[in-house]
A and B are shown apart, each in its own frame.
Chain A
């Protein structure tokens, strides 16, 4: 159990918010944003991904700071 906990902390970090947030952002980009944006995806998709990651980072830092 301790080994599993250590492994989880090593790969996923100390919070669930970051790995969950990253998963939501990447999956949303891959399966929702790409078909919706069409041709604009190739040139603008990176900034959408960057924006999503920034929101996840800001939320996880704010949550940790409140504790």
Chain B
């Protein structure tokens, strides 16, 4: 069961981040040139791959098992709680909803003032926007997947979930523009926040020598409690007047 939950958590987290990165690359490709968009994106992928090769083995080899569990748990808690905080505010209407389409429009606007160089010359503005967009989302993916993959039980579930997400999102790239508006990103990110936070609490507790009642089932009830608390606060905030 932990296998499925880790794969699911990694898969959804990677999907959401990839969607945002792809929206930026699409914006550069559509409004500038595809070759420059792909060069910028490819350079960022190389940087992220190097980072992934360094972060995973360093975590596994240099940290003792219990300390590793606490380290992974704290990392996941930091990511998960931040996503959950934003998700709770978004669901309550206290923050703009998450949208890859907005990233698309923002990237296009950022490039409006830079003139497109003639054919044959590199479009550094376009490359830079694509590079930066993919790099920032990519680093988040590397950190989350490395933390989930560095579990003592092995990296398989996190890597399988991530691989499925990459295939699904990249396949969707060809017809992405229109469906971008229909993806419930806010709810997806909130769900990832719940999952990552639950994993974080579970791993930190294991690293501190705690035996959860029910074993791996604890992941489910910890996630359920977090989801209930977040939904409760979101509903409460939605009913409360916004401070002046």
Residues of A near any B CB (own CB < 8 A): 6, 10-15, 18-19, 22-23, 26, 29-30, 34, 41-43, 45-46, 49-50, 53-54, 56-58, 60-62, 64-66
Contact = CB atoms under 8 A, between A and B. Distances in A.
Q: Is the interface of A mostly helix, strand, loop or mixed?
A: helix
Interface of B: 70, 74, 77-78, 81-82, 84-86, 88-89, 92, 94-95, 136, 139-140, 143, 197, 200-201, 204-205, 208-213, 218, 222, 225-226, 229-230, 233, 237, 243
Contacts of B78: 11-13, 18-19, 22
A30 B66 CA distance: 12
A29 B95 CA distance: 33
A65 B237 contact: yes
Nearest to A23: B74
Contacts of A12: 78
Give the 10 A-B CB pairs with smallest separation, nearest first: A13-B82, A46-B205, A45-B210, A46-B210, A61-B88, A65-B94, A46-B212, A60-B85, A18-B81, A22-B77
A21 B88 CA distance: 18
Given A11-B143, A30-B208, A46 B218 contact: yes
B82 A14 contact: yes
A26 to B, nearest CB: 6
Contact of A43 (B95, B211, B243): B211
A56 B211 contact: no
A22 B81 contact: yes
Contact of B204 (A10, A18, A34, A49): A49
Contacts of B233: 58, 61-62
Contacts of A29: 204, 208
